[in-house]
Amino acid sequence: MNYYDELGLHGSASAEEIRQAYKRLARLLHPDQQSDEQLRKMAELQMMRLNEIQAVLTDPEERLRYDESLDAALAGEDKWPRRIELSPPTMIWATVTLGALCAFVFGFFYFQQDSGPAPAPVPSPTVVARPATKSVREPQSQYRAPMVTVQKPPALRRREIPPAPEPVPQGPVYAEEQHQAAPVLAVAPVVEAAAKPAPSLIGTWLYVKSDATVEGAKKFSYRPEYIEMIIKPARDGRIYGRYRGQFQVPDQALSPEIIFQFEGVAGEGTNVYTWHANDGASGQIRLNVVSEASIEVSWYTTTFGKAPKLASGRAILYRN
């Protein structure tokens, strides 16, 4: 978590947006609003942290150096070799894709080898040409001329098929065609409706802690140790989610555990919901689907509860 995440802002936020976010948090965390002595001390520590963030981000030179340190940390996360942990659905998908690719390559070379007889039309079972093929195939083993023997039967069949009258009964054939076409037209809309996937937010999402992530996050104080987010479908196209995270808080008297629930309508792309905790705290959570197996989760607090906790957090979660 960086300074922008603690203020609930993006990295490209302007100086005015930073000052407004500082004022909002200062009103929430000011020590004068706490009557208990212990809570007052905690609020003073939070204000010291908030003042430090405001001093760095409002100074152009300090902010430039801070942004460069963020870029260096992100560049360190992209270095190879990287240890990647694949979930079972991802491994199954990769296996199926590899099998389909192998089948495509095998079929391509197979039909390339059989390009000679492949264009020949499939003979109708009513056309009798077997005596001709037998008489031609007998010298095949003696003279070893497979190309001549394979091309002659299609030529004979092409000459015999055009003059042969094909009785097409009008009533029965059309009745059968209409009877066969009706199920296809009826099934097509059902297949299209089933092909549309449900919102991909539903499932169990976990935080994957890797060596590269830990090395890049050493410069920041409040990095996650464990995050689990479970999203289930509710009524009328809505979803119900539960977020539970454990963060490192080495320099503050804050609770490292964050637990809250959220509910809303699932849509495509980025979804924003209001969350509530059991201690009275509430805020906003933003869910941005990066891929089918990963999601970016960022949250921040608008109303603090009874116990002092972190004000915001952000992480990339992967589907379990």
Per-residue model confidence as pLDDT tens digits over 43-81 = 889 889 989 998 998 899 998 999 999 888 877 655 544
Instruction: Choose one of 78, 97, 123: the last residue of a domain.
Output: 78
Residue 137, domain member (yes or no) = no
Query: In CATH, what number is assigned to the domain containing residue 56?
Result: 1.10.287.110
Instruction: Choose one of 78, 93, 116: the last residue of a domain.
Output: 78
Q: What is the mean pLDDT of residues 208-213?
A: 68
CB 311 within 8 A of CB 301: yes
Number of domains in the chain: 2
Q: Give the separation between CA 195 and CA 96, rounded to whole angstroms.
A: 19
Q: What are the helix (H) ranges across the chain?
A: 3-7, 15-29, 37-58, 60-77, 88-113, 130-137, 140-143, 146-160, 170-195, 211-216
The pLDDT > 70 percentage for the chain reads 64
Is the pLDDT at 210 greater than 80? The verdict is no
| Residue 307: domain span | 197-320
Q: If pLDDT is split at 50, 70 and 90, which confidence band does 241 have?
A: very high
pLDDT at 196: 46
**Which pTM does this prediction carry?**
0.38
Q: Give the separation between CA 271 and CA 237, rounded to whole angstroms.
A: 14
Mean pLDDT across the chain, nearest whole number?
75
pLDDT at 33: 82
Query: In CATH, what number is assigned to the domain containing residue 233?
Result: 2.40.128
Per-residue model confidence as pLDDT tens digits over 170-203 = 554 443 444 444 454 454 554 444 444 545 789 9
Residue 29, domain member (yes or no) = yes
CB 55 within 8 A of CB 18: no
Instruction: Choose one of 44, 78, 112: the last residue of a domain.
Output: 78
Residue 111, domain member (yes or no) = no
**DSSP symbol at 292:** S
